[in-house]
Amino acid sequence: MDFGLTEEQKMVQDMARNFAEKEIAPYVEEDEENHYYRREILTKMGELGLLGWSIPEEYGGNGMGWMEAVTALYEIAKVHTAWRLSISGNCWGPAMTINEWGTEEQKQKYIPDLVSGKAVGSFAMTEANSGSDVGSMKTFAADKGDHWLLNGSKMWISGGHASDLGLVYAVTTEGGGPKGLSCFIIDYNNTPGITRIPITKKVGMWTAPTSEIVFENAMVPKENLLGPVNKGFQICMWMLNNTRMGCATGAAALSAACLEGSVNYANERTQFGQQIGKFQMIQQQIAEMKLEDDAAKYLVYRAAWLKENKLPSQQATSMAKLFGCNAAVHAANMAMKIYGSYGYSTEYPCGRWLRDAKQFETLEGTSNIHMGIVAGIELGYQPNR
């Protein structure tokens, strides 16, 4: 595996970096303070093709794959990790899943708006009592002949109340567990019976909308079933193996942001007549951060390379996500120490880094779940998809 960037990939990297510095960086602190989701950034991402990775050009895709995608996302998430959710919420979630499992009519109807940024996308699995155990969800879709009737609620849905369309996973065969779930495409703007409640009391990710979604006799057209009935669990696991790349890449990028900020601060701050970077304890912290940061980044590239070459990637994706979240949390902790009292001040980004890092340990599979996936595949208890 050669992870040296091609000239085209370097152009993608520069474009994403310039976009993040110009369109995201100036508003980070203001939007954090106001817990504000700047919708126009998603539109601009779509206009630049930053939402069209691994999507056929006939549906608006950008003609590029996983390696270019993680390279671009890394630059965006390094500036503000909350914006990595847009690529998962629009591209690697709904758009890619519809492209894999959808009918031609569904592909033409929904994918272009997702990859252009015209629509905000989302996917809803988690419920108040159903997180890691996806098969235990209670939201139910009843077959009413000419439509499905959806009842239940979803919790902690990224993009939720801002979403225009998304995927919702629900029970279609009562008592069937994982074999009784199906996936539906939901048009949130034109489906009565849906209430979306913003979740504002969060430790971090303040600029990313998160919601509870309640379905009360929501009528879903028959043609909005994605894939076969009762294949929802299979579709969901396939999707998660893609969207978890967003978590892995975002975590690695956050680790890099912490390292870069800590190096700059260690070279600027002086104590006892010298830069604090000259003290061995600070050097040890920087060295630990550098080792973990590089490892996290290369695990992301390895998983992306496997996906690009259509090779089994589930274990590699879980490894990248698991190690990346550990690296991000450790780097954020180290940054807080290196910055000293200023790290505890909102003048500096250390608090945001630490708040945002912690969510990687639970989002899209807890660290325990990913530990189990990595070990289970290694022990031969489950296949490496």
Active site residue 58: no
Residues 39-65: tens digit of each pLDDT: 999 999 999 999 999 999 999 999 999
The architecture in CATH of the region 234-378 reads Up-down Bundle (1.20)
User: Among 200, 38, 55, 232, which Cα is nearest to 135's?
Assistant: 232
pLDDT at 150: 98
Whether residue 230 has pLDDT greater than 80: yes
CB 205 within 8 A of CB 194: no
The mean of the pLDDT values for the chain is 96
d(CA 176, CA 58): 37
Q: Which distant-in-sequence residues (6+ apart) come within 8 Å of 35 by Cβ?
A: 200, 206, 207
Read off the pLDDT of each residue in 141-158 and give the average, rounded to a whole number: 97
For residue 38, which of 52, 50, 25, 48 has the smallest C-alpha distance?
25
Dihedral of alpha carbons 333, 203, 213, 78, sign: negative
Q: Are 211 and 199 in contact (CB under 8 A)?
A: yes
What's the fold here for domain 7-119? Answer: Butyryl-Coa Dehydrogenase, subunit A; domain 1 (1.10.540)
Shortest CA distance to 80 belongs to which of 119, 122, 41, 49? 41
Superfamily covering domain 122-230: Butyryl-CoA Dehydrogenase, subunit A, domain 2 (2.40.110.10)
pLDDT value at residue 123: 97
Q: What are phi and psi of 239, to 5 degrees?
A: -65, -45
pLDDT of 3 higher than 80: no
Q: Is the pLDDT of residue 324 over 90?
A: yes
184: left (phi over 0), alpha (psi -120 to 50) or beta: beta
Fold: same for 7-119 and 234-378 = no
Per-domain boundaries in the chain: 7-119, 122-230, 234-378
2 pLDDT more than 80: no
Q: Which amino acid is at 74?
A: Y
Residue 279: predicted pLDDT: 98
Of the candidates 214, 212, 213, 238, the one whose C-alpha atom is nearest the C-alpha of residue 227 is 238
Instruction: Give first-to-last CA distance, the chain, whole Å.
Output: 19
**Contact by Cβ (8 Å): 284, 329:** no
pLDDT recorded at residue 132: 86
As given in the structure block, the two tokens for residue 168 are: 């919702």
CA–CA dist 300, 279 (Å, integer): 32
Q: How far apart are CA 214 and CA 193, in angstroms?
A: 8
pLDDT of 4? 84
The model's confidence at residue 173, banded by pLDDT at 50, 70 and 90, is very high
pLDDT in tens, 355-364: 999 999 999 9
Say whether pLDDT at 267 is over 90: yes
pLDDT at residue 131 in the model: 84
The catalytic position among 23, 68, 212, 364 is 364
Task: Flag whether pLDDT at 1 surpasses 80.
Answer: no
The residue with greater pLDDT, 291 or 86, is 291
